[in-house]
């Protein structure tokens, strides 16, 4: 690694890249870790990058993976040449640093590693941060008869990125023998998949799951999004995804009637990417039953068949406010007092009265906020707790609740108190494009999160002498992370987990 005029050049196995020196850290953007999955390589396993001559510019972010804009993000892209990653390095490299590989969220259809400016995390935590981009939605988890390794391409991309880290990260001062795989929301789902995928074993040494969703069981109607149906677990058998893919392709006219599997796939690879993206929402679940993911992670994790690496996971205190605000109030369909009992009945059936007794509609808050509290507990807190217990039975596990109710909302909705909603902790870990930066006092407190996470990346234990103690989940401890107090919280009582355990 050498510097010239504020730029920094690193020579990799495939060629040299030129990054940029910034305030206390170095950044390298858009480094290819696999060949572009375009044309005949669409819906195939990632392949090796062709070496390049000269020095490749890595000073500006690459385009995100193909995606359409959504209510929670304006980003869109049609560029299938998306298998790149960013590297953020503390400027003073005095030793090999722990490596944190960050898998972004975005519901499986959206997102980009490039929007996570990891400078503060790298400098505060003295870690090397790698943020890969990978195929999303229909390009990632689409299946069709005859398609090898269908509905696992995003996971395979991430495995390719992890193999790149093993080969190349020492050139940036990172330790390839000390890699933490971390992700939020849909990124956490993929971390769970890697814990059970044979091809991922040994590529990382700790795991962080922030706000995991739908890992082990179904989600009742209305509790993810008001008005939404009940949801199955976030894993699908290969045969089911193949049937869905064939039906969608036929319905959209992408495949000529009577085509055999080989001809059908050739026709599908010729469909413009913009057309394919219109069905991305249907293809967000990794498929199990094949070589990449032989077993449902829900079954594998609860049975103890996963990589026994230390695990750090948790939720935010008001997870569901994000979804109720964005998909109910913001679109003019807030939950009403009349909706509340109907939704309880549709979500919980014969148990609706028991749930209503524990979650009455209070007079001092809106029905939308009351419903968000219930949804937080049933759709987020209970499943995460269940997942944490499954991990803790087999490997050292730490559990937290991010509880800063004054955190900046990722997507503010006027008149709706954001609280510690889904994704609100990310502004303390990263500088996020389009998300307000927390005020100085909060931001300084937020560095505690980065120091805890860095300690975990260093040693597999988040405890630090300069921060409040953090016992593991085996003791029953849940760490509440908030500016006013860091310490234990009665998570079971706070989120009525006795009720949800009984109704599970």
Tokens 């392709």 sit on residue: 249
**What is residue 70's predicted lDDT score, i.e. its pLDDT?**
75
Contact 46, 156 (CB under 8 A): yes
Backbone angles phi, psi at 278, to 5 degrees: -70, -15
> Are residues 368 and 339 in contact, defined by beta-carbon separation less than 8 angstroms?
no
SS (H, E, C) 93-136: CCCCEEEEEEECCCCCCCCCHHHEECHHHHHHHCCEEEEECCCC
Could you say which DSSP state residue 225 is in? S
In a domain, 298, yes or no: yes
Please tell me the predicted confidence (pLDDT) of residue 2.
Answer: 57
Catalytic residue among 77, 112, 185, 211: 185
pLDDT (0 to 100) of residue 286: 96
Domain assignment of residue 133, yes or no: yes
Q: Is the pLDDT of residue 499 over 90?
A: yes
80 near 66, Cβ under 8 Å? yes
Query: Do 320 and 376 touch, CB atoms closer than 8 A?
Result: yes
pLDDT of res. 442 = 85
For residue range 395-421, what is the model confidence (pLDDT) as tens digits?
999 999 999 999 989 889 999 999 999
Question: SS3 of 397, please?
Answer: strand
Q: Are 277 and 327 in contact (CB under 8 A)?
A: no
pLDDT of residue 356: 97
Percentage of the chain exceeding pLDDT 90: 90
Structure confidence at residue 72 (pLDDT) = 60
Residue 291: CB atoms within 10 Å: 11
What is the share, in percent, of the chain residues with pLDDT greater than 70? Answer: 98
Q: What is the CATH number of the domain that holds 80?
A: 3.40.50.1820
Cβ-contact 88, 118 below 8 angstroms: yes
pLDDT grade for 484, boundaries at 50, 70 and 90? confident
State yes or no: is 296 an active-site residue: no
Query: So what's the pLDDT on residue 1?
Result: 58
Query: Is 339 part of any domain?
Result: no
Instruction: Look at residue 243 and tell me if it is in a domain.
Output: yes
In a domain, 386, yes or no: yes
SS3 call for 282: helix
- In the chain, how many domains are there? 1
Q: How far apart are CA 28 and CA 3, in angstroms?
A: 13
For residue 367, is it within any domain?
no
Q: State the pLDDT at residue 430.
A: 94
Task: Give domain status of residue 433, yes or no.
Answer: no
d(CA 19, CA 28): 4
**What pLDDT digit, counting tens, does each position of 427-451 carry?**
999 999 878 788 888 888 889 999 9
Give ∠ CA 256-262-264 in degrees, rounded to 5: 25
Domain extent for 35: 2-316+380-402+441-489
Task: Tell me the average pLDDT of the chain.
Answer: 95
Pure H helices in 118-211: 119-125, 138-141, 153-168, 186-196
pLDDT tens digits along 448-469: 999 999 999 999 999 999 999 9
Q: Answer yes or no: is 79 within a domain.
A: yes
Find all residues with CB under 8 Å of 63, minimum gap 6, and list them: 77, 79, 81, 82
Please write the tens of the pLDDT for every residue from 329-373.
999 999 999 999 999 999 999 999 999 999 999 988 999 999 999
109-145 pLDDT, tens digit each: 999 999 999 999 999 999 999 999 999 999 999 999 9
């Amino acid at each position: 690694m050498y510097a010239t005029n504020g730029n920094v050049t690193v020579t990799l196995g495939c060629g040299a890249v030129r990054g940029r020196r910034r305030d206390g850290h170095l950044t390298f953007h858009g480094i290819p870790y696999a060949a572009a999955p375009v044309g005949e390589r669409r819906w195939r396993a990632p392949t090796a990058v062709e070496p390049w001559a000269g020095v490749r510019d890595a000073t500006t972010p690459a385009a995100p993976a193909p995606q359409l804009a959504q209510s929670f993000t304006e980003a869109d892209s049609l560029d299938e040449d998306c298998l790149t990653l960013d590297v953020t390095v503390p400027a003073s490299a005095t030793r090999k640093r722990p490596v944190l590989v960050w898998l972004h969220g975005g519901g499986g259809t959206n997102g980009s590693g490039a929007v996570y400016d990891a400078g503060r995390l790298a400098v505060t935590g003295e870690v090397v941060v790698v943020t890969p981009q990978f195929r999303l939605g229909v390009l990632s988890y689409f299946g069709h008869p005859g398609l090898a390794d269908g509905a696992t391409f995003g996971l395979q991309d991430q495995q390719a990125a992890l193999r790149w880290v093993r080969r190349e990260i020492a050139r940036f001062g990172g330790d390839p023998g000390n890699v933490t795989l971390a992700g939020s929301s849909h990124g956490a789902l993929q971390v769970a998949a890697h814990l059970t995928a044979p091809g991922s074993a040994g590529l990382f040494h700790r795991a962080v799951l922030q706000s995991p969703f739908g890992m082990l069981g179904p989600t009742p109607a209305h509790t993810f999004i008001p008005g939404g149906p009940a949801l199955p677990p976030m894993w699908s058998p290969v045969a089911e995804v193949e049937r869905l893919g064939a039906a969608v392709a036929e319905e959209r006219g992408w495949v000529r009637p009577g085509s055999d599997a080989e001809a059908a796939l050739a026709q599908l690879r010729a469909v413009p990417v913009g057309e394919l993206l219109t069905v991305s929402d249907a293809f967000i679940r990794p498929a199990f039953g094949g070589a990449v993911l032989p077993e449902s992670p829900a079954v594998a994790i609860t049975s103890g068949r996963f990589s026994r690496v230390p695990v750090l996971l948790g939720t935010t205190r008001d997870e569901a406010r994000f979804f109720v605000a964005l998909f109910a109030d913001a679109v003019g369909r807030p939950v009403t007092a009349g909706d509340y009992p109907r939704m309880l009945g549709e979500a919980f059936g014969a148990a609706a009265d028991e749930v209503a007794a524990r979650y009455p509609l209070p007079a001092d808050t809106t029905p939308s906020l009351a419903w968000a509290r219930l949804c937080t507990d049933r759709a987020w807190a209970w499943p995460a707790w269940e997942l944490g217990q499954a991990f803790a039975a087999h490997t050292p596990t730490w559990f937290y609740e991010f509880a800063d109710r004054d955190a900046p909302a990722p997507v503010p909705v006027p008149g709706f108190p954001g609280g510690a909603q889904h994704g609100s902790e990310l502004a303390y870990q990263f500088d996020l494009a389009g998300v307000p930066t927390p005020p100085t006092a909060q931001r300084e407190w937020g560095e505690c999160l980065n120091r805890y996470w860095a300690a975990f990346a260093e040693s597999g234990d988040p405890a630090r002498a300069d921060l409040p103690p953090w016992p593991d989940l085996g003791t029953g401890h849940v760490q509440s992370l908030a500016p006013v107090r860091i310490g234990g919280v009665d998570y079971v009582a706070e989120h009525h987990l006795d009720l949800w355990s009984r109704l599970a």
